Amino acid sequence: MATSKLFTEKVLDLRLSLLECIFSSPIPSMEINCAEVLAIHRAISITFASHQLQPSTSVLESDPSNAVTWCNSYNWNLNFQLKCIRNMRKEGLLISITHKGDPQTWLRTH
């Protein structure tokens, strides 16, 4: 099981039309999928708080695929973050969460 470091390096790309936002944040030691969900939660919180970004349709690209699946469905371990993500979508935030595989992972497996 892979675990995250104190800081995640490239956590997430948030692409909004011509705007690309890449950020890192400190996280506790945890499994990488959980860390990625926390990063998605943070990106959605930033987007939801921005009145300029809210009316836009946003795409969050994330790897690993488990984190994307959990954000688009349900995982009881991450109940708080996933509820927040779903509630912001219900409030009208137009956002799509998609899997963006790491090219290095593909090269190692093929």
Q: Which range marks the domain in which residue 91 is found?
A: 12-109
- Paired sense of beta strands 12-16 and 19-23, if any: antiparallel
Q: Decide if 6 is inside a domain.
A: no
Kindly report the average pLDDT of the chain as a whole number: 69
Q: Decide if 49 is inside a domain.
A: yes
pLDDT at position 36, please? 82
Residue 76 DSSP one-character state: G
Q: Decide if 27 is inside a domain.
A: yes
Q: Decide if 40 is inside a domain.
A: yes
For residue 56, give the nearest of 92, 85, 84 by alpha carbon: 92
> pLDDT band at residue 49, thresholds of 50, 70 and 90?
confident
Q: Decide if 5 is inside a domain.
A: no
**CA gyration radius for the chain?**
14
Q: Decide if 42 is inside a domain.
A: yes
- In the chain, the amino acid numbered 8 is T
Give the count of domains, the chain.
1
Phi then psi for 101, rounded to 5 degrees?
-65, 150
CA 49 to chain centre: 16
pTM (two decimals): 0.53
